[in-house]
Structure 1
Amino acid sequence: MSSVAMTPDRERLLELAREKGASLSRLSEMIGRNAAYLQQFIKRGTPKKLEEGDRRRLAQFFGIDEGEIGGSTGKENSYASTSAGSESSYVEVPRLDIGASAGPGALPSGEAPFDAFRFSRRWLSEQGLANAQLSAITVEGDSMEPLLNDGDEILVDRAPRPFRDGIHVVRVGDTLMVKRVASAGAGQVSLLSQNLAYPPVNVAAEDVEIIGRVVWKGGRI
């Protein structure tokens, strides 16, 4: 396979993929392309430049400015300069193919985006989520009812923040779950369910990985 000189946008895209632990084939599929698309873009220079929609989805997935991977920069990409109906005034939040148990626990099946929700940048800003690192996953089980129901989709903010009590997606061992997490003192935290049929569980804080804070939910009525 012939190769081309690595341009800054290609180098940056390859660097971002490595930092995220995402393969080029998975990223290609995420933006609706064949699995070899981004590999060919980086190694063979085909296409010479990513299409606007592809750049936008990748930039939103990585949480970067489009200019880092070949798009325009500056005012034309800022929220203040976009019209309410323009494409750049929306953010696509990846839907991940995993479920967070609201019951006894479930193993994650992977973290590859299979789809995306689109949210207005203005709405995100109004919710205090302008700088959030969002992804959407599905609630499984009934332990968080009536607040979160089986099948609800939740937005999880993975941005690093100081811990505070609230509803989080956490990993304990190999189990991913959504619970209300509260400090319990003496190096422990309590994993609390909304459904009173499930008793609180105290675990050592060092055994709990906080994946992100739940900031929004959606589901059928």
Structure 2
Amino acid sequence: MSKAQERLLELTQERGSSLARLSEMIGRNPTYLQQFIRKGSPRKLEEHDRKMLADFFRVPESELGGSAKASEDKSYNARTALPLEAGWVDVPRLAISASAGQGAVVGAEAAFDNFRFSRKWLREQGLEGAQLSAILVEGDSMEPLLRAGDEVLVDLRPLPFRDGIYVVRLEDTLLVKRVAAQGGGRLSLLSQNLAYPPLNVSVDAVEIIGRVVWKSGKL
């Protein structure tokens, strides 16, 4: 087994992924990378395939069989944004939090890092073209759905309203709540934790920042 084959297998196991899924990610049949590792067919990865895998694992292409000079010429940096044609989208993680409790004062809306998502996965979730940001959840009013420390993806597009989980601004605080229309220009801000009573507010009193469409968090 070549060093490139060994390294690809090692990276796949470290990430907890599968060779079949990685093969599909780069547009190949599900057995492509397994044949590369187990049978040496193809003998080496094509440049396009190697680049996509290197970008996914955030390693230099030289670790997957590319030339060391090519990796140096590209000045590899794990935080460098990938070009759109690579099939990945960087979503900014903002240095603010939305409270699932009594309310969090809005902080500086500056990105300090990114989540990287497959463009194909976003399309499958109906989020292609979404304007996404990731923010932290604080408090316990949305437990067990959302817990303190979870990060949520917020779609910031001004879409027609429908009941769901939203990040909203109420006065000078951010909240993450289930928002339901009550009619007569009123909204209910609902908590999952029944220890917290609903907040009934005027539509004019609350600003809807965006709809929560995904969450990440520890098990």
> TM-score range, shorter-chain basis?
0.5 to 0.7
- Aligned-pair CA distance for 1:137: 0.2
Aligned partner of 1:138 in structure 2 is 136
Asked if 1:160 is matched to 2:158, the reply is yes
The equivalent of 1:212 in structure 2 is 210
Unaligned runs of 5+ in 2: 1-74
Q: Which residue of 2 aligns with 1:171?
A: 169
Partner of 2:100: 102
What displacement does 1:108 show?
Answer: 1.4
* Residue aligning to 2:114: 116
Runs of 4+ in 1 over 3 A off after TM superposition: none
SS at match of 1:124: helix
TM-aligned CA deviation for residue 147 of structure 1? 0.2
Q: Distance in 2 between matches of 1:109 and 1:200?
A: 25
Identity %: 65
Larger radius of gyration: 2
Which of 142, 148, 151 is 2:149 aligned to? 151
Query: Residue 68 of structure 2 aligns with which residue?
Result: none
Residue 91, structure 1, aligned to residue 86, structure 2: no
Residue 180 of structure 2 is matched in structure 1 by: 182
> How many equivalent pairs are there?
143
Partners in 1 of 2:158 and 2:104 — Cα distance? 24
Name the residue aligned to 2:59: none
Residues 71-130 of structure 1 deviation map (CA, whole Å, 9 limit, x = unaligned): xxxxxx5xxxx5xxxxx2100000000000000001011100000000000000000000
Provide the alpha-carbon RMSD of the alignment: 1.9
TM-score (norm 2): 0.62
Q: Could you tell me the TM-score, scaled by structure 1's length?
A: 0.62
Report 1:191-202 matches (<5 A): 191-202=189-200
SS in 1 for 2:187: strand
Q: 1:40-79 to 2 correspondence within 5 Å?
A: 57=81
Correspondences of 1:21-36 after superposition (within 5 Å): none
CA distance in 1, matches of 2:163, 2:108: 27
1:164-188: CA deviations, max 9, x gaps?
A: 1100000011010000000011111
Deviation at 1:52, TM superposition (A): 11
